Structure 1
Amino acid sequence: MGIAGEQKQQMGRASTFIYEWNFKNPFFFSSNEVLICRNYKGDVDMSEIDHFLPLLTQQEEEGLTCPVISHGNVHFMWIKHSNLYLVATTNKNSNASLVYSFLYKLVEVFTEYFKELEEESIQDNFVVVYELLDELMDFGFPQTTDSKILQEYITQEGNKLEVAKTKVPTTVTNAVSWRSEGIKYKKNEVFIDVIESINVLVNANGNVMSSDIVGSIKLKTMLSGMPELRLGLNDRVLFALTGRDKGKTVAMEDVKFHQCVRLSRFESDRTISFIPPDGESELMSYRINTHVKPLIWIESVIEKFSHSRVEIMVKAKGQFKKQSVANNVEVRVPVPSDADSPKFKTSTGHAKYVPEKNLVVWTIKSFPGGKEFLMRAHFGLPSVENDEAEGKPPITVKFEIPYFTVSGIQVRYMKIIEKSGYQALPWVRYITQSGDYQLRTNT
């Protein structure tokens, strides 16, 4: 099944289609039916969508994958999610970034409503889908795209839709569209999660080829009324502006904010000032391009004996401060595809063979900083294979370290100002986790 949306300038003039098809083989369809469609402006012939799947199939046969496919003067911009295609068509010089942003927003909203966006969820919720398409876009212009706001007046019970009769939610009409008025809590609190993911690539000689930190600050706000929040970080630019360039500071790049943040205020004096959404939200994301010392260092020795057996020794060392502990560590070690009869010995944790992925997964529930652990594995090799000198998969590592950030970013303060004058408690939690964390081997 697929979804195809037809959109043009402005976002533009748009229609939305949903197909169903079944593959007889990777390149031929036994059916190609439009399941659902929404035409917003009607200046592209609805039949044009019939050309999309044949053109896509032709591209795949030629070994090509392009996000934009053209037929005459009509262009198809598409994304794939699960067993669906979402497609937008245009015959104008459209803003492609806006179109793709809208398509991904459709996926996000539908997933919030149906938990899983797939063929069955569309078929079971036609009415809700139509209502959402009407609210998400009006005459080619994106409108309300926040799922929390939509859920205030488009609600779902089973397959039934309930629309508030005459009441228009305040989130649609007030200046703060992401927050309703009249919110009340017995206990006012804000939970702040600073989460950093470490991306590291280490070559076979033990040198760090690339590394960076991708971070986000997530909020869970349980505050009454319309509070004004001000967040202070140890931002290097802010400290330089105020002449307080002392202590540990962080230079953030590619900073992106939730729409609630006053960008003009941040650009003028680096103040992060905002009226928060109620409940959970991502306030901001950032990237820090810096040399990162691998937090968990891996050394491996893989020995093959006359193509009859292979022995693997892996040593893992925690290269972070001793006061911290990495939780749920997974070291994934590639093994030959013809390996069998696994035997393991570990100094801590447990190891298991995952034959469908040709991996040994060594799991350590709690890994204190500064500690070293060993894992030995023995496999039989029943067949004779040529050594794979190139293209050997790297060792990958997954982990999570609470109460710790590699960059040293800190929440210096969170000020909460509300006209009623109530006192609120901010709670801060720091988490470092693995992102794309790879260590290549030469054995």
Structure 2
Amino acid sequence: MFSRLFSLFSTPAPTPPPADVHIVPCTGMDLSSRRFVVTTGFIIDARLDPKKLEASLLMLVERKFPRAGARLAHRNGVYEFHIPHAFDARTPAVAFTAEDHPEPYASPARPWIEHLCDSSAREPWICDLVALDPYLRSDSCPKTLEAFLVPNTPLVHVHVTVFDDLTFVGVTSSHIVLDAVHWRGWFKLGVFSTFSFIVRFMLRIWRDPEEVGKFVRMPKVFLEERKRLITEELQAEGSSEWVSSSDVLLAWWFKTSYSHRTDSAPLHIHLPIDLRDKRIFPGPSGTGAISTPYINNAVSGIPIPPIPVNAFKTASLRDLALRFRRSIKAYNADLPGIAADVRWRCANPLAALFPCPPGAEYLVATNWRAARFGALDFSGAIATAEGEGEKQKRKARVLFLVPMATSGKKRPMRGSGAVLMEDENTIWMSQIRGAKDWEVVRKAGGVQFL
């Protein structure tokens, strides 16, 4: 009895480190989105051989990038990456599952995706997200942080679903191993401000409870024409300023989706940015960029000066694009400030930050164009029929990218969006808003809804 009572007040003995792994502690930059599990789904325009794909993937991780074979652990109150010293059948580099359907994908029983592969439209349009979960995640795939903490659970799970004409490849991992939400421009609120933020946010959800994700298709010819007009205006004025196609894309999206608003609520826009090329990290030869494989998160965020939502109706596309470009330029020039941000977050890993103050709104706009998902080549894994020669093989390309996120509890995702991928004709985005909000955007008529 006394031993049990004593145990309530004693400090448990620390758990010793495993002997067969290399341990990398998680930093404050890894933990902000730790509750989310993310699946990145690829739709590929060919029948792939799952065995070839698995063999190539295992070889890549084991020989080139063993950090991708890490496990997640929570030891002595600290989250850690445990990288096995060696991989084998009992300790696989990744978890791999596959299903084979010896028939074409198109069927009344399956979600329609032909519109996602059509590159003929020259005007932007919006459509619903496609429910492809069964083809991108197996039943054994972890869906919560706790599931990834089960001993010897790989941080990367790959599920492949093969049809005669298409292959679905879903790559699932904990958000801890992916670059997560940033912090510059976010707010550390006091007790009353925190209460006010939560009440206002919950009131918005009560008024518009159903969250809906949609895809936004942007033809490159449409985007480049608007960029050309802005560039010509700047040159005619003798200005040395310039804008990128991503600046114009964001400017178009915010102008299109907020021009119906008549209130003056400030909108705080956050642009996540990769820090790996920033010369702020200590190394053997001084401060520099990250030049070696690195498992921890290395992302911050560029805060755009708040804009009253009713200003989007009258603001020009040029002025909005320049607002993004100037903010990016100012951020990149402030290396001491970026380094201070990183130090603060690592020192305060679980500090609660808010994307805007009470009474304001926010949107986190991620851009994955630099990942070049549309340029991935899966040709080496194409299924070859018996007797077929190598010359008969064709290139296997990514038709579309499908993002998914889950957590143990239902968490609001509105106020988030991403530029997903691009090919030679199209740039794709995803956006999450309330169903009523989407309906108002549709009625405003600024963009076509399918």
TM-score (norm 2): 0.26
Larger relative contact order, structure 1 or 2 (CA cutoff 8 Å, min sep 6): 2
More strand per residue: 1
